[in-house]
Amino acid sequence: MAINNIYLQNEEISIEVNNLWKIFGDNVEKVLDSDTQFDGKTDILEKTGCVLAIKDVSFQVHRGEIFVLMGLSGSGKSTLVRCILRLIEPTAGKILINGENVCDCTAQQLTELRRHTISMVFQYFGLLPHRNILQNVAYGLKIRGMAKSKREAKAQEMIELVGLKGWESYLPSALSGGMQQRVGIARALSTDPEMLIMDEPFSGLDPLIRRQMQDELLDIQEKVHKTILFVTHDLHEALKLGNRIAIMKDGEIIQIGDPEEVITAPSDGYVREFVQDASPAKVLTAKRIMEQPNVLLYEWQGPKTAIHILESTELDNAFVLGRGSKFRGLVTVERLLEIIKGGGKSIMNALEPDLLRCTSDTIVEDLFPLAVSTRHPIPVVDDDGKFLGEIHTSTILGSMIQDKETELGD
């Protein structure tokens, strides 16, 4: 399923980080002093004893998107997301949540922010071991002062949302890692926060469960449309979940883009190395590889006109459209000749049956099975049935070859 289907480009900004710095240590001024030149993180540590964790980071998270922060261990991801909630105090810079500067918040405002606006999901689920699943999920509502029956009803709803119905009265220790993480997600969603920050939530799970959890997160997101800041060090996870991805290295963001941009135009060697094992076919969508046909036929044209057009362009098939570019199907010269022989007047009688089609969001990888089962180009059609373009089998094969080259490190 393509999450991109549900994320409609929204320019409204939920989280904005401007020129954020975080330096751990006692000699912070020395690091920020513009007269002193340092040669990277190690040099700073040696000369000042400080750890430069976040270096002048700026980005924006749009409302309703899944924004992924990706980078190797130690690149500063956790520090960055913790700064956003001020679980760690930033050294310099600005953090705006819905336009409000978090750095100016009082302790009480911060508590409000963490209880109502943004929930956090961690790698280690942090469930309360002596409370059952229902109580764990309802916990955030309890500290908000919600009455028992009301909070339990809400918790029940969230437990069902994450697929754990029937487990309400069990203790966390009776659940597998994947199930416990679902409880963590249910708990984070129970307060109906506007935003979720998820710091490597699936990293502790084995690969199969991890993929299931990713699918479930996408399913849940389709229902709840939250703004999600998701941290991972796994590129495939980033490419699967992210509407946009920011790549971090040594405390800096070195590239921000959608999955296609990151994979097709890596900004430097570091990103290229990261994406080398990722296959474009998993990321590229039909929109990216579709073409416009040289010839289109229209439903009101007669079979003889159609034959004439096809023969004069040396084609043996073409798509047929109706008014407003509505997609109708595909006709071949062979079928048209049969229709003419039988005295048929409409090219609609010559349409190929059971024609396969895709949408502009279809991932190229999902086109492979379509490509092997048809001799014809694959039409790309939007949700209203409008024709957008066509994809030739050779183009799909081309993207596989590019795939191989990437694997070989070309």
| Chain residues in the site for Mg ion (CB under 5 A) | 78
Site map (CB under 6 A) of ligand ATP, residues 42-71, x = contact: ---------x-x-----------------x
**Nearest Cα to 144, choosing from 76, 191, 84?**
191
76 touches ligand ATP by CB under 6 A: yes
For 319-337, b where at least 16 C-beta lie within 10 A, e where not — what string?
Answer: bbbbeeeebbbbbbbebbe
Does residue 37 sit in helix, strand or coil? coil
Minimum CB separation from Mg ion for residue 82, in Å?
Answer: 9
Single out the residue of 140, 132, 134 nearest to residue 165, CA to CA: 134
- Phi and psi at 244, nearest 5°, equal -140, 155
Residues 213-251 as b or e (16 or more Cβ within 10 Å = b):
bbebbbebbeeeebbbbbbbbbbbbbbbbbbbbbbbbbb
Instruction: Lay out the site mask for ligand ATP across 205-244 (x = CB under 6 A, - = otherwise).
Output: ----------------------------x-----------
**Do 277 and 301 meet the contact criterion of CB atoms below 8 Å apart?**
no
Q: Name the minimum Å distance from CB 263 to Mg ion.
A: 23
User: What does each C-alpha distance from 282 to 205, 240, 340, 366 come to in angstroms?
Assistant: 22, 8, 44, 8
Q: Which does 210 bind (CB under 5 to 8 A by kind): Mg ion, ligand ATP, none?
A: none
The minimum distance between CB 121 and ligand ATP, in angstroms, equals 14
Residue 53 binding result from Mg ion, ligand ATP, none, given CB thresholds of 5 to 8 Å by partner type: ligand ATP
CA distance 396 to 233: 29
Range 180-209, binding ligand ATP (CB under 6 A): none
Size of the site for ligand ATP (CB under 6 A): 12
Whichever of 73 and 173 has its CB closer to ligand ATP, that residue is 73
377 SS3 class: coil
Which of 88/296 has CB closer to Mg ion?
88
Residue 256 β-bridge partners: 246
Q: How far is the CB of 189 from ligand ATP (least distance, A)?
A: 23
In Å, how far are 313, 318, 347 from 303, measured between CA atoms?
Answer: 15, 12, 5
Instruction: Please report, as residue ranges, which positions from 5 to 24 form the binding site for ligand ATP (by CB under 6 A).
Output: 24
- The 10 Å Cβ neighbour count of residue 263 is 23
Please report whether residue 96 would count as binding ligand ATP according to CB under 6 A: no
Q: Which does 73 bind (CB under 5 to 8 A by kind): Mg ion, ligand ATP, none?
A: ligand ATP
**CB-nearer residue toward ligand ATP: 232 or 243:** 232
Cβ closest to ligand ATP, residue 71 vs residue 140: 71
Nearer to ligand ATP, 4 or 79 (CB): 79
| Complex with Mg ion: residue 200 or 403, whichever CB lies closer | 200
Nearer to ligand ATP, 55 or 226 (CB): 55
Cβ–Cβ under 8 Å, residues 159 and 186: yes
Q: Are 64 and 7 in contact (CB under 8 A)?
A: yes
| Least CB distance to ligand ATP at residue 54 (A) | 8
- Alpha carbon of 339 to those of 302, 309, 321: distances in Å? 10, 16, 18
- List alpha helices for 33-132, DSSP H: 40-48, 77-84, 107-112
- Integer CA distances (angstroms), 63 to 7, 9, 98, 226, 228, in order: 9, 9, 9, 7, 9
Helix (H) or strand (E) holding 220: helix 207-224
Minimum distance, C-beta of residue 206 to ligand ATP, in the bound complex (Å): 18
CB of 77 to Mg ion, least distance (A): 5
With CB under 6 A as the contact rule, the residue among 73, 108, 294, 394 that binds ligand ATP is 73
Sole binder of ligand ATP in the list 74, 93, 163, 322 (CB under 6 A): 74
CA 408 – CA 194 distance, rounded (Å): 43
Among 48, 79, 255, 399, binds ligand ATP (CB under 6 A): 79
Pick the stretch among 75-83, 257-265, 299-307, 348-356 that binds ligand ATP (CB under 6 A).
Answer: 75-83
Which listed option, Mg ion, ligand ATP, none, makes contact with residue 75 (CB within 5 to 8 Å by class)?
ligand ATP
Is residue 77 close enough to count as binding ligand ATP by CB under 6 A? yes
Q: 64 touches which of ligand ATP, Mg ion, none (CB within 5 to 8 A by kind)?
A: none
The listed partner (ligand ATP, Mg ion, none) that binds 293, CB under 5 to 8 Å by sort, is none
Q: Which residues of this chain interact with ligand ATP, rule CB under 6 A? A: 24, 51, 53, 71, 73-79, 233
